[in-house]
């Protein structure tokens, strides 16, 4: 395909409920959507960079600039056969993986539409339904958290993950386990602890967690290898895994026993598949993480989750948990068994609501190829 133009746009969407992690609270999203215009059709993707550089180094405004100045110009004037070929076109650009992922994934999206095949099949998926969990943020009180968990369990979600930080951890996990002794339960610290907290983290072993996600520094695999040895609970790395080589290093050093794959964090579908494959060859399960995506990014997460080594419930949940009105049709729905059914339709199986997106747009820029 020949890419004639790429549109960047920012939409604003308030969350139904605030989402709080160890690094802060989000009440509304500023979302960067990328549209590639190629051979008379459009491919869509979402850049999952947040409003601030707290989760990783990128945020929406840096992603916008990098896309505009470096990434988008590098795909113009090429004949692109597949999304797989895209990373090589800007291999000189360091980092900025969320920006890269948005462009690459939009091209995969266009490719699926052009070839008239489901995106999940193009990615190598094998599942016809995927298992869903929820990620529940830090609340104003433990009672509020228990109430939320009870609602999500009643909705059918197969795994509950709660955000933790010093002062909101053992005191929270204990009442949850007491009330629900048998649920699949995990926690996510988003790097809120340091090595001297190892003894404190060992208390988590009492709660039979499926995993503890990213307890230590975002950029330190070795530190996780040090504490994994001392913990019964499996560590799952999120922030620390930027590409397949990180996954390889983490598994070789015993830094974790589970990996969370976020397509934006690793720079696009090609690298997400590579991370998946490294874990599969080590017989280590992966699951699909979330970044409070709109329907556009969510649909891509669903497609990715169909790959065979996505063996644990993902943070891929229903649209209505996040948005009053999602920007795809139909909205993502989760069955009472906590699953999402995979569509056999071409593309993502969801339609992008361009009229609604237009109304939510606060900034838009189309970059055109000038041959
Ligand atoms: O660490 O998984 C994380 C949201 C924003 C930033 C980081 C994380 C998260 C989540 C949300 O846990 C998962 C979701 O989209 O529901
Ligand atoms: Mg996480």
* Cβ(55)–Cβ(29) below 8 Å: no
Q: Whose CA is nearest to atom 13 of ligand 1?
A: 290
Sign of the Cα torsion 38, 39, 42, 46 reads: negative
Distance between CA atoms of residues 147 and 317, nearest Å: 18
User: How many angstroms is it from 368 CA to the middle of ligand 2?
Assistant: 36
Q: What is the pLDDT of residue 192?
A: 97
Average pLDDT over residues 104-114: 97
Q: What is the pLDDT of residue 68?
A: 98
Average pLDDT over residues 50-65: 97
From the CB of residue 64, how many other CB atoms can be counted at a distance below 10 Å? 21
pLDDT per position as a tens digit, 337-352: 999 999 999 999 999 9
User: How many angstroms is it from 271 CA to the middle of ligand 2?
Assistant: 18
Average pLDDT over residues 352-358: 98
Which ranges of the chain does DSSP label H, i.e. alpha helix?
60-66, 72-75, 86-89, 97-115, 119-122, 142-155, 170-179, 198-202, 221-228, 244-253, 269-281, 295-304, 354-360
User: Percent of the chain having pLDDT more than 90?
Assistant: 99
pLDDT per position as a tens digit, 69-89: 999 999 999 999 999 999 999
At residue 271 the predicted structure's pLDDT band, cuts being 50, 70 and 90, is: very high
At residue 370 the predicted structure's pLDDT band, cuts being 50, 70 and 90, is: confident
Q: Whose CA is nearest to atom 5 of ligand 1?
A: 291
Q: What is the pLDDT of residue 287?
A: 98
Residue for token pair 């802060």: 24
Average pLDDT over residues 142-149: 98
Burial class (CB in 10 A: 0-12, 13-18, 19+), 359: exposed
* Cβ(55)–Cβ(190) below 8 Å: yes
Mean pLDDT of the chain: 97
pLDDT per position as a tens digit, 21-39: 999 999 999 999 999 999 9
Q: Which residues pair with 130 in a beta bridge?
A: 340
pLDDT per position as a tens digit, 157-202: 999 999 999 999 999 999 999 999 999 999 999 999 999 999 999 9
Catalytic one of 100, 262, 324, 345: 262
**DSSP state letter for 310:** B
Residues 6 or more apart whose CB falls under 8 angstroms from that of 149 comprise 136, 160, 162, 176, 180
At residue 371 the predicted structure's pLDDT band, cuts being 50, 70 and 90, is: low
Known catalytic residue at 262:
yes
At residue 64 the predicted structure's pLDDT band, cuts being 50, 70 and 90, is: very high
């Amino acid at each position: 395909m020949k890419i004639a133009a790429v549109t960047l746009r920012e939409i604003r969407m308030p969350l139904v409920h605030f989402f709080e992690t160890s690094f802060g609270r989000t009440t509304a999203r500023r979302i960067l959507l990328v549209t590639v215009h190629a051979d008379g059709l459009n491919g869509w993707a979402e850049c999952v960079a947040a409003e601030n550089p707290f989760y990783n180094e990128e945020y929406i405004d840096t992603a916008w600039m990098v896309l505009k100045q470096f990434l988008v110009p590098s795909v113009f004037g090429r004949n692109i056969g597949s999304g797989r070929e895209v990373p090589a076109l800007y291999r000189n650009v360091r980092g900025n993986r969320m920006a890269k992922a948005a462009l690459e994934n939009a091209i995969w999206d266009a490719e699926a539409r052009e070839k008239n095949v489901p995106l999940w099949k193009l990615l190598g998926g094998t599942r016809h339904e995927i298992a869903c969990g929820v990620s529940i943020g830090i609340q104003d009180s433990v009672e509020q958290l228990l109430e939320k968990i009870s609602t999500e369990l009643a909705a059918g979600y197969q795994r509950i993950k709660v955000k933790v930080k010093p002062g909101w951890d053992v005191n929270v996990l204990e009442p949850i386990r007491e009330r629900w002794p048998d649920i699949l339960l995990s926690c996510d610290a988003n790097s809120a602890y340091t090595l001297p907290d190892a003894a404190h983290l060992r208390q988590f072993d009492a709660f039979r967690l499926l995993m503890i996600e990213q307890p230590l520094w975002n950029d330190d695999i070795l530190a996780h290898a040090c504490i994994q040895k001392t913990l019964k609970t499996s560590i799952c790395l999120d922030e620390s895994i930027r590409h397949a080589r990180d996954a390889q290093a983490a598994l070789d050093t015993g830094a974790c026993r589970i990996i969370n794959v976020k397509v934006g964090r690793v720079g696009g579908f090609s690298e997400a598949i590579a991370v998946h494959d490294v874990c599969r060859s080590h017989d280590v399960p992966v699951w699909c993480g979330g970044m409070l995506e709109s329907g556009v990014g969510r649909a891509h997460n669903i497609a990715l989750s169909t790959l065979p080594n996505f063996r644990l419930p993902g943070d891929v949940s229903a649209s209505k948990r996040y948005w009053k009105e999602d920007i795809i049709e139909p909205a993502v729905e989760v069955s009472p068994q906590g699953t999402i059914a995979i569509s056999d339709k071409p593309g993502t199986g969801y339609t992008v609501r361009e009229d609604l997106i237009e109304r939510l747009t606060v900034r838009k820029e189309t970059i055109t190829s000038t041959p």
